[in-house]
A and B are shown apart, each in its own frame.
Chain A
Amino acid sequence: MGIPTVAVFSEADRGARHVAEADEAVAIGPAEALQSYLSIDALIDAARRSGADAVHPGYGFLSEKGGFADAVRDAGLTFVGPPGDVHRRMGDKKAARQLMAAAGVPVLPGYGGDDQSDTRLRAEAEAVGWPVMLKPSRGGGGKGMRVVRRSEDFAPELAASRREARAAFGDDAMVIERFVKRPRHVEVQVVADREGRTLALGERECSVQRRHQKVVEEAPSPALSPAQRAELCEAGMAAARAASYVNAGTVEFLLAPDGGFSFLEMNTRLQVEHPVTEAVTGIDLVRVQLEVAAGRPLPFVAGDVVSRGHALECRLYAEDPERDDLPSPGRILHLSEPAGPGIRVDSGLATGSEVTVHYDPLLAKVVTWGFDRREATERMRDALRRTVVLGVVTNLARLRAIVEHPAFEAGQLHTGFIDEHLRELSRAPCPPPEAVAALAAALSRSGGDSSRGSARAVPDPWGALGPWRLGEGA
Chain B
Amino acid sequence: MTRLRCGDELFDPVVREKGHAFEVTLGERTYRFSLAAEGPGVFVLREAGRAVRFHVARKGTAVSLFWAGRVYELTEEREGTHPARRHEGGALEAPMPGRVVAVRAEPGQHVKKGEELLVVEAMKMENALRAPRDGVVRAVHVSAGEMAAPGRALVELETEE
A residues neighboring B (CB under 8 Å): 331, 333-334, 336, 351, 384-385, 388-391, 394, 396-397, 400, 428, 430-446, 448-452, 455-456, 459-463, 465, 468, 470
Assembled-state Cα–Cα distance A342/B116 (Å):
55
Assembled-state Cα–Cα distance A153/B126 (Å):
62
Assembled-state Cα–Cα distance A459/B1 (Å):
17
Minimum CB–CB distance for A422 against chain B, Å: 16
A460 contact set on B, CB distance < 8 A: 57-60
Minimum CB–CB distance for A437 against chain B, Å: 4
- Say yes or no for B97: interface residue by CB 8 A criterion: yes
Assembled-state Cα–Cα distance A331/B59 (Å):
10
Assembled-state Cα–Cα distance A396/B57 (Å):
17
A430-B7, A446-B123, A465-B40 provided; 4 other pairs, C-beta below 8 A? Answer: A437-B26, A438-B24, A462-B41, A462-B57
Beta-carbon contact of A433 and B26 below 8 Å: yes
Assembled-state Cα–Cα distance A431/B74 (Å):
9
Assembled-state Cα–Cα distance A444/B122 (Å):
8
Beta-carbon contact of A440 and B13 below 8 Å: yes
Residue of A whose beta carbon sits closest to that of B3: A440
Q: Which of B72-88 contact A (CB under 8 A)?
A: 72-74, 76
Of A396, A446, A468, most B-chain CB atoms within 10 Å: A446
Minimum CB–CB distance for B37 against chain A, Å: 4
With A430-B6, A459-B58, A462-B56 known as contacts, the answer to whether A443 contacts B76 (CB < 8 A) is yes
Assembled-state Cα–Cα distance A468/B4 (Å):
28
Assembled-state Cα–Cα distance A400/B52 (Å):
20
Beta-carbon contact of A385 and B37 below 8 Å: no
Assembled-state Cα–Cα distance A430/B6 (Å):
6
Minimum CB–CB distance for B59 against chain A, Å: 4
A389 contact set on B, CB distance < 8 A: 71
Beta-carbon contact of B7 and A446 below 8 Å: no
Residue of B whose beta carbon sits closest to that of A430: B6
Residue of B whose beta carbon sits closest to that of A439: B65
- Say yes or no for B89: interface residue by CB 8 A criterion: no
Beta-carbon contact of A396 and B40 below 8 Å: no
Beta-carbon contact of A336 and B42 below 8 Å: yes
B143 contact set on A, CB distance < 8 A: none
Of B29, B40, B55, B66, the contact of A451 (CB 8 Å cutoff): B40
Beta-carbon contact of A443 and B57 below 8 Å: no
Beta-carbon contact of B31 and A452 below 8 Å: no
Assembled-state Cα–Cα distance A442/B38 (Å):
11
Beta-carbon contact of B64 and A456 below 8 Å: no
Minimum CB–CB distance for A203 against chain B, Å: 31
Assembled-state Cα–Cα distance A390/B42 (Å):
12
Of A388, A390, A461, the contact of B124 (CB 8 Å cutoff): A461
Beta-carbon contact of A463 and B57 below 8 Å: yes
Q: Which of B1-15 contact A (CB under 8 A)?
A: 1-2, 4, 6-7, 9, 11, 13, 15
Give the 7 A-B residue pairs with the shortest CB-CB distance, closest first.
A333-B57, A334-B57, A440-B13, A430-B6, A437-B24, A390-B57, A390-B64
Assembled-state Cα–Cα distance A433/B29 (Å):
9
Beta-carbon contact of A390 and B33 below 8 Å: no
A452 contact set on B, CB distance < 8 A: 124
A449 contact set on B, CB distance < 8 A: 37, 40
Residue of B whose beta carbon sits closest to that of A444: B15
- Say yes or no for B68: interface residue by CB 8 A criterion: yes
With A336-B42, A385-B69, A428-B71 known as contacts, the answer to whether A440 contacts B59 (CB < 8 A) is no
Beta-carbon contact of A455 and B121 below 8 Å: yes
Assembled-state Cα–Cα distance A440/B57 (Å):
12
Residue of A whose beta carbon sits closest to that of B13: A440
Residue of B whose beta carbon sits closest to that of A465: B40
Of A451, A460, A465, A468, most B-chain CB atoms within 10 Å: A460
Minimum CB–CB distance for A127 against chain B, Å: 51
Minimum CB–CB distance for B124 against chain A, Å: 4
Residue of B whose beta carbon sits closest to that of A435: B67
Beta-carbon contact of B33 and A438 below 8 Å: yes
A391 contact set on B, CB distance < 8 A: 57, 59, 64
B74 contact set on A, CB distance < 8 A: 430-431, 439
Beta-carbon contact of A462 and B24 below 8 Å: no
Of A431, A461, A462, most B-chain CB atoms within 10 Å: A431
Assembled-state Cα–Cα distance A443/B56 (Å):
8
A440 contact set on B, CB distance < 8 A: 2, 4, 11, 13, 15, 24, 26
